[in-house]
Amino acid sequence: MSDTMVTSNRSRRKKQLRNLGYWVVVALIILPFLFPLIWMLLSSLKVQADITRVPPVWSFTPTTQHYRAVFAEHDFAHYIFNSGVIALGSTAFSLLLGLPAAYSIARFQQTKFSLGILVARIAPGITFLIPWFMLFSRLRMVDTYTSMILAHMLVGLPFIVWVMTPFFEGIPVELEQAAMIDGASQAGAFFRVLLPLTGPGVITSSILAFVFSWNNFMFGVVLTGARTKTLPVAVFNFMAYSEINWGGLMAAAVIITAPVIVIALIAQKYIIQGLTAGAVKE
Amino acid sequence: MLSRWFDKRIRYLFVMPALIFVIVMMAFPILYTFRLSFTKWSMSATRPPVWIALGNYVSLLFNDPRFWGAVGRTFAFTLVAVAVETVLGVIIALVLNRETRGQNFIKTLFLLPMIATPVAVGMVWLLMFEPSIGVINYLLGALGLPQGLWLASPSQALASLIMVDVWQWTPMITLIVLAGLASLPREPFEAAIVDGASRLQTVFHITLPLIKPTVVAAVILRTIDAFKTYDIIYTMTQGGPGFATETLNIYSFVLGFQYFQMGKASALLMVFFALVLGLAIILNWLKKPLAV
């Protein structure tokens, strides 16, 4: 009796130790991947003299001066608004066009269409930038939300179709046939039966379409101006001054990254599913 | 009535808007770029493009060392970054793979580098790489290791950018492999334990062969994206110092939007587009034999 208790105690101890070892290894692996983001946050809260001090300061009284300066001197509220409008707009319109297309490709096996849309996912964005710039200049649409939303849709739409087509393929035809026997039209069955069933896929693809647009830098550099400048472009322009204002730069970097990180913390399951789509079969 | 009319044509009506969008926003622009690639034009409104046939392609391929430099760097960047990411990513996934309660939390933390805004990521690495005040050189010095010039040195800049790419994208390989590992059958592993195989033997003879298709698919996705890397390069070095980090993407951008050599930029874009497409086709074609 007491013998078995001793062994079970010992094996439990051993297990705990091994668990501890596992978590130490995990921490050692993860630290380098988190460090730059932690450093960004720490630097944004230091006074300028502390940011450039060697050896680096690890404990200090945080200051919000850089955040206040970024909003007071650089109209960051405006850039946040621009990025938000463009990301929401491009995601919404991408869903509007992409969901029916994905359904149709899945149901009627329109592989040629899907190939065309796949090319849009593979092609480097810069390939379209010169013609877009010509076209939008001629139409006087440079520096408008419309041109930016259209540009970002070329990222969002193919991605949504790419993620959603397998989702629709996974739903048995019988389900929509049952709905149609009950008197629904095929379009009705799509909206009332299929869309709710593919909810997780819709969440995955729209979160990522939003994030891709929010993070996008290349299109904004060329297609925005004073009116519609997005956050990444604004942050980049920040650097163009001769003396780099590291505090302001880090504060701006935190402001632009924070929403994405919050989204990642809330919806990690969906995001992982979307980012690994195409490599892992569900 | 209307709904029946709609249902009859649903296969066209549902896909048409997306298709028209892709044609207008992608196909036309590519055709336009293609045509522009045979002209000389500085974007002036008064002087229209002048037809020079293959002139731009000839000048790129035969008279432009910058072009070949960019080609080499693009391939080097892609090859090294993806190789390192794959090896690191698979090893990390094998170490992390365990059914514990904290697994989801670990995955969330791993997600952060690849989802954080690249421009912001570039900025903080710029600060960390800074040779005199950066934390990386400080840490290396504290450990008694040699310090680097990083982005300031033409010979180290590309490797430094590869480091950032590895930081950003190793987690993607890890997450994909973790998902693959979670879906593996248990029987082969149980059999291996019965047969008295060591852990390392199990990894090499059972785990790795089983997840190979997943890894191949991940590598293909990663290769195509790495080939097109733009954000971190442009924000951190803009191709410099000199041309030390100028990839095809950056060179196209510079030709088009800084030098306004629209014809030559268009020719370069067509070459770049063809390379990416060719790469995707070759990789997809290799996928089956490699994954087995």
Which residues does chain B have within 8 Å of residue A190's beta carbon, measured at their own beta carbons? 14
B170–chain A Cβ distance below 8 A for any pair: yes
- CB of B212 within 8 A of CB of B287? no
Residues A97 and A199 in one domain: yes
Sign of CA dihedral B148, B151, B155, B161: positive
- CB of A236 within 8 A of CB of A282? no
Residues 6 or more apart in contact with residue A17 via CB below 8 angstroms: none
Residues A12 and A91 in one domain: no
Cis peptide bond N-terminal to B241, omega within 30: yes
Whether the pLDDT of residue A1 is over 70: the answer is no
Q: Which site among A41, A66, A180, A268 would you substitute to test the B interface, given the most B Cβ atoms closer than 10 Å to its Cβ?
A: A268
- Domain CATH code at residue A89: 1.10.3720.10
Please give the distance of CA B106 from its chain centroid, rounded to a whole number: 24
- CB of A176 within 8 A of CB of A191? no
Cα B200 to Cα B147: distance, rounded to the nearest angstrom = 35
In a domain, B221, yes or no: yes
Sign of CA dihedral A156, A159, A165, A168: negative
Segment B132-171, tens digit of pLDDT: 888 898 999 889 888 888 988 899 999 999 999 999 999 9
A vs B: CB pairs below 8 A: 279
Per-position DSSP letters for B39-92, written without gaps between them: EE--S-SSS--EE-TTHHHHHHHHH-HHHHHHHHHHHHHHHHHHHHHHHHHHHH
In a domain, A52, yes or no: no
How does the average pLDDT of chain A come out, rounded? 85
Cα A228 to Cα B249: distance, rounded to the nearest angstrom = 24
Give the HSE-up count for residue B210: Cα atoms under 13 Å, Cβ half-sphere.
19
Cα A83 to Cα A148: distance, rounded to the nearest angstrom = 10
pLDDT for res B67: 92
In a domain, A187, yes or no: yes
Residues A15 and A73 in one domain: no
Whether the pLDDT of residue A4 is over 60: the answer is no
Q: Which site among A34, A111, A155, A217 would you substitute to test the B interface, given the most B Cβ atoms closer than 10 Å to its Cβ?
A: A217
Whether the pLDDT of residue A211 is over 50: the answer is yes
Q: How confident is the model at residue A241 (pLDDT cuts 50, 70, 90)?
A: low
Number of domains in chain B: 1
Segment B122-139, tens digit of pLDDT: 999 999 998 888 889 899
Number of domains in chain A: 2
Segment A155-173, tens digit of pLDDT: 999 999 988 888 888 888 8
Per-position DSSP letters for A139-173, written without gaps between them: TT-TTSHHHHHHHHHHHHHHHHHHHHHHHHHTS-H
Residues A71 and A40 in one domain: no
| Mean pLDDT of the A44-60 span | 83
A243 to A48, A240, A256, B106: CA distances (angstroms): 12, 9, 22, 38
In a domain, A280, yes or no: no
| Mean pLDDT of the B273-284 span | 91
B21–chain A Cβ distance below 8 A for any pair: yes
Q: How many CB atoms lie within 10 A of CB B290?
A: 15
Q: Do A101 and B252 touch (CB under 8 A)?
A: no
**Helix (H) and strand (E) counts for chain A?**
15, 0
Nearest of A202, A212, A184 to residue A103 by alpha carbon: A202
**DSSP-based three-state secondary structure for A59:** coil
In a domain, B54, yes or no: no
Residues A29 and A74 in one domain: no
- CB of B17 within 8 A of CB of A100? yes
Sign of CA dihedral A213, A219, A223, A227: positive
In a domain, A173, yes or no: yes
Considering only the beta carbons, identify the residue of A26, A232, A265 that sits closest to B108: A265
- Minimal CA separation from B191 to chain A, in Å: 23
Give the HSE-up count for residue A48: Cα atoms under 13 Å, Cβ half-sphere.
9
Residues A13 and A121 in one domain: no
In a domain, B74, yes or no: yes
Q: How confident is the model at residue B105 (pLDDT cuts 50, 70, 90)?
A: confident
In a domain, A57, yes or no: no
In a domain, A97, yes or no: yes
**DSSP-based three-state secondary structure for B126:** helix
Q: Do A185 and B7 touch (CB under 8 A)?
A: yes
Q: Please return the burial class of A140, using the count of CB atoms within 10 Å of its CB with bins 0-12, 13-18 and 19+.
A: exposed
- Domain residues for the domain of B243 are 66-291
Q: What angle do CA A204, A208, A213 make, to 5 degrees?
A: 155
DSSP state of B152: G
Q: Please return the burial class of A173, using the count of CB atoms within 10 Å of its CB with bins 0-12, 13-18 and 19+.
A: exposed
- Minimal CA separation from A151 to chain B, in Å: 8
Residues A106 and A239 in one domain: yes
- Domain residues for the domain of A133 are 66-275
Residues A40 and A89 in one domain: no
- Residue for token digits 């760097």? B73
Q: What angle do CA B29, A90, A80 make, to 5 degrees?
A: 115
B283–chain A Cβ distance below 8 A for any pair: no
In terms of CA atoms, which chain B residue is nearest residue A220? B231
pLDDT for res A282: 42
Residues 6 or more apart in contact with residue A125 via CB below 8 angstroms: A154, A155, A218, A219, B228, B230
Segment A54-69, tens digit of pLDDT: 788 788 888 888 898 8
Segment A95-110, tens digit of pLDDT: 999 999 998 888 888 8
Cα A61 to Cα A59: distance, rounded to the nearest angstrom = 7
pLDDT for res A184: 76
In a domain, A219, yes or no: yes
B292 to A232, B79, B179: CA distances (angstroms): 42, 22, 19
Q: How confident is the model at residue B112 (pLDDT cuts 50, 70, 90)?
A: very high
- Domain CATH code at residue B114: 1.10.3720.10
Nearest of A205, A230, A211 to residue A219 by alpha carbon: A230
Residues A139 and A264 in one domain: yes
Q: Which site among B6, B10, B14 would you substitute to test the A interface, given the most A Cβ atoms closer than 10 Å to its Cβ?
A: B14
- CB of B29 within 8 A of CB of A120? no
Which residues does chain B have within 8 Å of residue A105's beta carbon, measured at their own beta carbons? 15
Q: Which of left, alpha, beta for A57 (phi over 0: left; psi -120 to 50: alpha)?
A: beta
Radius of gyration of chain A (CA): 25
Considering only the beta carbons, identify the residue of A22, A120, A252 that sits closest to B26: A120
Angle, nearest 10°, between helix axes B262-291 and B208-227?
180
Whether the pLDDT of residue B40 is over 90: the answer is no
Whether the pLDDT of residue A29 is over 50: the answer is yes
**Helix (H) and strand (E) counts for chain B?**
16, 2
B173 to A247, B89, B203, B223, B225: CA distances (angstroms): 33, 5, 17, 11, 13
How does the average pLDDT of chain B come out, rounded? 88
In a domain, B35, yes or no: no
In one-letter notation, the amino acid at residue B10 is I
Considering only the beta carbons, identify the residue of A161, A187, A275 that sits closest to B7: A187
Nearest of A172, A180, A178, A128 to residue A153 by alpha carbon: A128
Q: Do B252 and A250 touch (CB under 8 A)?
A: no
Segment B12-27, tens digit of pLDDT: 888 888 989 988 888 8
